[in-house]
Amino acid sequence: MKILVYGLGAIGITFATFLKESGNIVFGKVKEKNFPRKLYVNGIWGKHSAELDKISSDILDFKNEEIDLIILSVKAYNTEEALKDIKQIIRNDTILLLTQNGYGNYELAVKYIGKERTLLSRVIFGAKVVEKGKVNITVNADDVIIGQPDRAIPEDKIKAIVNIIRKSGIPASYSPDVYKILWDKIIYNCALNPLGAILGCSYGDLADNEYTKKIMSKIVEEIFKITKAYKIELNWENPQDYLNFFYKELIPPTREHYPSMFYDIQTGKRTEIDALNGAIVKLAKAKNLETPTNELITNLIKFKEKINRG
């Protein structure tokens, strides 16, 4: 299979390395020139390395490659720009796989690429770039879940892509309920990611403290209010059911993990707050609803972004 990984950050490098190492033709689209073709992944899944077939900062360099699968792994705030780029080269039979955090990526992809060519995934392994082209995988809470929320792509075609990813060594599985599962992660990230970044602590620290647990409960309760208002189906009947699962199943394998926003703020980068708690606030305001805890968290992250980015 010919695969283009668009965005070689931590998640993109992981997919590119594993898929190339397992025998696929893999290209990488990056922003900067002179990005190394040889990639390395270490950590809980062992030591892996692969040299990509081509890396370029110009999307048109891939126009004649007859690409079967494009894996989009840029930050959520770069999704729209990336989709406009991809639209220049995508063929009718090319599949786009989204791997990003947060709300709104799928909706943008449907607008620019079409649901009949777009797959959604829930990625919940933790990876960190240690230096250019090198990644360390620190945690994996569950399989990469892949599906098409609107049933717009044949199931056998989706499962074929899932099998290629699974055979590469990345745990993956198919689910027609991927949109519900993605919302599980949106809630998970909204509760943990910004709060851990603001306080400079791990997910386990947040889960062990009675005061941060109160804040996380409020965040989750507000999100359930918004999903109900928008008639978004979740896997959970109420916030407490979700929180029980959250503390029992989701926290234990990720206890030592520090959030991506923590590292973004430390390095002066923009965070994905607008696709997480910020998106909840935006959805709430559109229906004249209040989400004060999510709004407070969003404002605090934006403050930290501003003072750290200058």
Q: Please say if 185 is a catalytic residue.
A: yes
Rg (CA), the chain: 19
Q: Are 110 and 136 in contact (CB under 8 A)?
A: no
Longest dimension (CA), the chain: 56
Closest CA to 261 of 247, 276, 243: 276
CA-to-CA distance for 270 and 11, rounded, in angstroms? Answer: 17
Q: Are 234 and 224 in contact (CB under 8 A)?
A: yes
Report CA torsion sign: 277, 280, 282, 285: negative
* Half-sphere exposure (Cβ direction) of 211: Cα atoms closer than 13 Å: 3
Q: Which amino acid is located at 181 in the chain? A: I
Q: To the nearest 10°, report the CA torsion of 148, 187, 131, 23.
A: -20
Give the β-pairing of 38-43 and 48-51. antiparallel
Catalytic residue among 185, 218, 225, 282: 185
Q: Which residues are catalytic?
A: 185
